Amino acid sequence: MTVNRRILTLDEFTLQQLRQFPTATGELSSLLRDIGLAAKRVNVEVNKAGLVDILGDAGTINVQGEDVKKLDIYANNQFMGVLQHGISCAGIGSEELDDFVVFDDEVSNQSKYVVMFDPLDGSGNIDVNVSIGTIFSVYRRVSERGKPCVKEDFLQPGNRQVAAGYVIYGSSTMFVYATRRGVNGFTLDPSIGEFCLSHPDIKCPPSGKFYSVNHGNFFQYDINVRKYIDGCQRKTKETGGPYTQRYIGSMVADVHRNLIKGGIFMYPGTTDKPKGKLRLLYEANPFAFILEVAGGKATNGKERILDIQPTELHQRTPLFIGSSEMMAELESYLNQE
C-alpha cells in the first residue's frame, strides 16, 4: 500500500517556521493566515466572475485615474477587512485607496506590522479570463506600539520589508511569499480549501529564455532600453537564445513565470510617463524583495529598487526585474553613454 506524502498547509508551514524562533510572537503567521483567507474569498469571486454581476466597471475612477472594476473593490474590502480585524496589522495602504488607513483601535494599535497591497493587479484582464493577482508587502512599524501607526511606518525603503508575497489567480491559484529565509509557494487545493506547499524554497534560475515588455511602447523607450530589446531579439543559440517574448499584461503572471523559469520583466519609463506605470510600494518593492531572496535582481535602471526611499503611497517607478545574469546583461546596456 502506498502512503500519501505528507502535505503541509500554509498555516502549518508558517507555524513550523515560527518554532525555529523562540522569541517570535506568531504575529507574522497570523498576518499571513489573514491574507490567505482573504485570497481564498477573492478566488471564489474571481472564479465566478463571468457568472454573476460582479464583472465589469464599477463606474468610478480610482486615485490613479484608472477605471475601477467591481472585483477590485471587492478584493480591496476583503484584504482590508481581514487585516483590520486580525491581531497583527496596525494600518494599510492600498492601490485602491487615496491615502494610508490607520486602523486606530485597541488591538490594531498594539500590532507590530503595516501592510501595503495591490488587491487585484492586472484587473484589465478580468473581463477576458486571463490570470490576475494580489501583491502585498509587510513592514515592521517604526512607531511606538500602543499608539496609532504613522506615515513613517509605511514610507520605509523596500530593503526593510519583513515579508512580501503575491497570489496568482491562474489555471490554479497560488500563494507565494518570501521572508529573508526563503521563498515558498503554495497551491490552493480547492477540495479542502487550503493552500498546500507545492513549491518549497523557490530559486530564480540565473538565466532564462523569457523577456517580458510592452512592445507597443518600444519607440517611447530610452535608446539603451531599445538596444537591449533589440539585443533580445537577436539572441542566437550561441548567445544564450533564442529568447521568447511573453507579455500577459498582468505583472503577477509575468513575473511569476520568470521567477520559476528564468527571465526578465521590464516596465521602463516612456516619453509620456518617464516614471513608467508601476507603483513602488505595492508592486515593485514586494516583487523586488521576492526576486532578490530567490537570487534575482531588480532596479529602476539607475538604482536598486529596494534602496529607494519612498516619499508617497502611490509613487511610480520604472522597473527591471528578473534573473541575475540577464539583469547583469541589461545593466551593461543601460550603463552605456
Residues making contact with ligand AHM (CB under 6 A): 66, 95, 118, 121-124, 214, 249-251, 277
Least separation in angstroms between CB 262 and Mg ion:
26
Query: From CA 291, how far away is CA 308, in angstroms rounded?
Result: 16
- Write out the binding residues for Mg ion, residues 86-105 only, by CB under 5 A: 95
For residues 27 and 121, which CB has a smaller minimum distance to Mg ion in the complex? 121
- Match 503575491 to its residue by C-alpha cell: 166
Least separation in angstroms between CB 306 and ligand AHM:
19
For residues 70 and 112, which CB has a smaller minimum distance to ligand AHM in the complex? 70
* H/E segment holding residue 10: helix 10-19
Q: Is 171 exposed, middle or buried (0-12, 13-18, 19+ CB in 10 A)?
A: exposed
Q: Using the rule CB under 5 A, which residue among 118, 153, 283, 292 binds Mg ion?
A: 118
| Residue 257 neighbours by CB distance under 10 Å | 20
For residues 297 and 316, which CB has a smaller minimum distance to ligand AHM in the complex? 316
Partner whose footprint covers residue 250, from Mg ion, ligand AHM, none (CB < 5 to 8 Å by kind): ligand AHM
**Is it true that the peptide bond before 318 is cis, omega within 30 degrees of 0?**
no
Query: From CA 125, how far away is CA 254, in angstroms rounded?
Result: 13
Query: From CA 92, how far away is CA 75, in angstroms rounded?
Result: 14
Partner whose footprint covers residue 231, from Mg ion, ligand AHM, none (CB < 5 to 8 Å by kind): none
Least separation in angstroms between CB 310 and Mg ion:
18
Residue positions forming the annotated binding site: 95, 118, 120-121, 214, 247, 277, 283
Query: From CA 198, how far away is CA 100, in angstroms rounded?
Result: 34
Three-state DSSP at 335 gives coil
Three-state DSSP at 94 gives strand
Residue positions forming the annotated binding site for Mg(2+): 95, 118, 120-121, 283
Three-state DSSP at 175 gives strand
Query: From CA 133, how far away is CA 12, in angstroms rounded?
Result: 23
If binding means CB under 5 A, how many residues of this protein chain bind Mg ion? 3
For 326, the grid coordinates are 540577464
Cβ contact 113:24 at 8 Å: no
For residues 86 and 276, which CB has a smaller minimum distance to ligand AHM in the complex? 276
Partner whose footprint covers residue 214, from Mg ion, ligand AHM, none (CB < 5 to 8 Å by kind): ligand AHM
Applying CB under 5 A, does 27 fall inside the site for Mg ion?
no
Cβ contact 140:121 at 8 Å: no
Q: Using the rule CB under 5 A, which residue among 121, 153, 283, 292 binds Mg ion?
A: 121
Q: Which residue is nearest to ligand AHM (CB)?
A: 251
Partner whose footprint covers residue 96, from ligand AHM, Mg ion, none (CB < 5 to 8 Å by kind): none
| Residues facing residue 248 across a β-bridge | none
Least separation in angstroms between CB 254 and ligand AHM:
6
Residue 209 DSSP label: S
For residues 116 and 251, which CB has a smaller minimum distance to ligand AHM in the complex? 251
For residues 61 and 192, which CB has a smaller minimum distance to ligand AHM in the complex? 61
Which residues of the chain form contacts with Mg ion (CB under 5 A)?
95, 118, 121
